[in-house]
Structure 1
Amino acid sequence: MAQRLLAGLLALAAVFIAPQPAAAHPFGDPQTVAVSADAQVVHVRWKAGGLDDLTLLGVALGVLPQDRVMLDGAVFYRDADAAAIGPSPQFAGYLLRQITVTAAGKACAGTVQPPADLAKAGATVDFACPAPIGTATIAVRTLTDLNPAYQSLATGPNGQRTVYRQGADTHEWTLGTAAAGDNLGRSAALQIGVVVGVLLVLAAMGFFLVRRRLKPTTRET
């Protein structure tokens, strides 16, 4: 009887002592994504919102040990965490799975650049596309596999913005030649507007000067 009771207590203790899956913390600072492009390459720079998010990701990828997350869900970040995660093949593979780029109906091949400082500057993925880029559809699903409440605030050329979240993880961006064309069009329209405005002012001034000269003068009798 005593042996059975002891075995039951050991089994119960094992449940509480065994490493548990990392608990996500999606309600702090959001992730950020910066999108840019040149020629046929789309650049996507991703940065975690909090340092504890990096630790959670490192644990989930098997780069960091389970004891970096406590049983109550508390996460203890160390400076060495980002240094371990950044150059790991697991992290590079994760970014290439969770961030994708499609242009002209074709997938663009991604390459993760080795992060110089993952904690402060994030990581950049370069996507080589098969043709010059006009618009590109970019999907971002980072960390939503840990918790669906994670979101990413994304910015792009000419003030473009979007929020990536579960259920809205894709967005079409105007990039490259299309963005340049938009800038040229707006610049040309602005210049034309300025010229027309100046001409109207000059015409109005000329009209009033001519009218003043032609206005008959009255003589006193």
Structure 2
Amino acid sequence: MSLQILARSRAPVRPSPGTLLAGVTLAVSAAFVGPAPSAAAHPFGPPSTAEVSVQGSRVLLAWNTDKLDWVTLGQSLGAFNGQGRGSSPGASFEQRLRQSPAVRAYLLKHISVGQAGRPCRGTVAGEMKDFLGRGAQLAFVCPAPVVEVDVTISALTDLHPAYRTMLTSDGPAEPQQTLFTSARPTTHIRFTASGGSVRGTVVAFSVGTFVAALAIGGWAWRRSRRRTAARADGATVAGPGFPAVSTAAPGDPGTEAVTTADTGSGTRSSA
């Protein structure tokens, strides 16, 4: 009996098909934990977000989406399979997305700004630091100070047409909010305040008020100087046909009054 038990314990153990499937699933899941979490696109969830603001001739736009959609975008661009320049095998998926030139090129291809039919030169600013929290920061330099521009956002719609982005203006604009879809990727936006923000308007108003105050103060100072100089002079020049006016106080010794007749002749008397 003991020999039979010993023989069974030394016999090779063959796992069941269910155990094999569970092991393979666990191994595949563990492989995705390193570079990036396993995820599928969910275009029917909340829309991506974007915020736009204006600084003179520059348009600043921050675009962000769900973490799983960032992963889906990175997978479609090959950012997790060693194609990203400067990425290391042990880098997190945030680092691989941040270091991938393909991600930057994709953002500039699918997010653009135009002014009067001319494209504004775009760059990805800030090296995509904290892009999961603040979004990818893009800056566009336009040929002239921005009042009206055409904004195009088609990010992720090439992966699924149901993706969309809700854009909000950081400052007075028409429209204040707009939804970008695969059927309507471009919207014309008119900024109704100089600088594109309430803060810029307040600053401009404050500067204008300060300049006006300086001008008024300078005019009052010059006028005061003229009055002082006129009093110090104490002499008045009268033209022919005009009565003379003296600034000297009456009764002061040594003063002279000049009286000019209508005919131009006059007499001088000493007080």
Superposition TM-score tier, normalisation by shorter sequence? 0.5 to 0.7
1:161 aligns to 2:177 (yes or no) = yes
CA distance in structure 2 between the partners assigned to 1:102 and 1:27 by the alignment: 29
> Structure 1 residues 92, 45: CA separation in 2 closer, same or farther (over 3 Å shift)?
same
1:95: which partner in 2?
107
Structure 2: 5+ residue stretches without partners: 1-38, 83-90, 206-271
Whether the 8 Å contact between 1:110 and 1:128 is mirrored in structure 2 is: yes
Cα drift, residue 29 of structure 1: 2.4
**TM-score w.r.t. structure 2 length?**
0.51
CA distance in structure 2 between the partners assigned to 1:104 and 1:60 by the alignment: 33
1:30 corresponds, among 35, 43, 47, to 47
Structure with higher helix content: 1
Cα drift, residue 177 of structure 1: 3.0
Cα drift, residue 47 of structure 1: 0.3
1:63 aligns to 2:69 (yes or no) = no
2:159: which partner in 1?
146
2:12: which partner in 1?
none
1:39 corresponds, among 56, 71, 77, to 56
- The residue type paired with residue 141 of structure 2 is A
**Stretches of 4+ moved more than 4 A in 1?**
178-181
Partner SS, residue 102 of structure 1: strand
CA distance in structure 1 between the partners assigned to 2:195 and 2:136 by the alignment: 26
Partner SS, residue 133 of structure 1: coil
CA distance in structure 1 between the partners assigned to 2:129 and 2:158 by the alignment: 25
- The residue type paired with residue 134 of structure 2 is A
Determine what percentage of the aligned residue pairs are the same residue: 33
1:130 aligns to 2:143 (yes or no) = yes
CA distance in structure 2 between the partners assigned to 1:117 and 1:58 by the alignment: 16
Deviations along 1:21-50, one digit per CA (max 9) or x if unpaired, are x853112221001011111100111001x2
What count of residue pairs does the alignment treat as equivalent?
A: 151
Structure 1: 5+ residue stretches without partners: 1-21, 67-78, 188-221
Partner SS, residue 37 of structure 1: strand
Whether the 8 Å contact between 1:111 and 1:126 is mirrored in structure 2 is: yes
Q: Aligned ranges for residues 1-221 of structure 1 at < 5 Å? A: 23-48=40-65, 50-65=66-81, 80-113=92-125, 114-156=127-169, 157-158=171-172, 160-175=176-191, 177=194, 179=196
**TM-score w.r.t. structure 1 length?**
0.62
Task: Tell which has more relative contact order, 1 or 2 (C-alpha 8 A, sep 6+).
Answer: 1
- The residue type paired with residue 82 of structure 1 is E
Cα drift, residue 179 of structure 1: 4.8
Q: Answer with 1 or 2: which has the greater Rg.
A: 2
CA distance in structure 1 between the partners assigned to 2:197 and 2:72 by the alignment: 40
CA distance in structure 1 between the partners assigned to 2:52 and 2:99 by the alignment: 22
| Deviating more after overlay: 154-163 vs 37-46 | 154-163
CA distance in structure 2 between the partners assigned to 1:178 and 1:120 by the alignment: 25
Partner SS, residue 86 of structure 1: helix
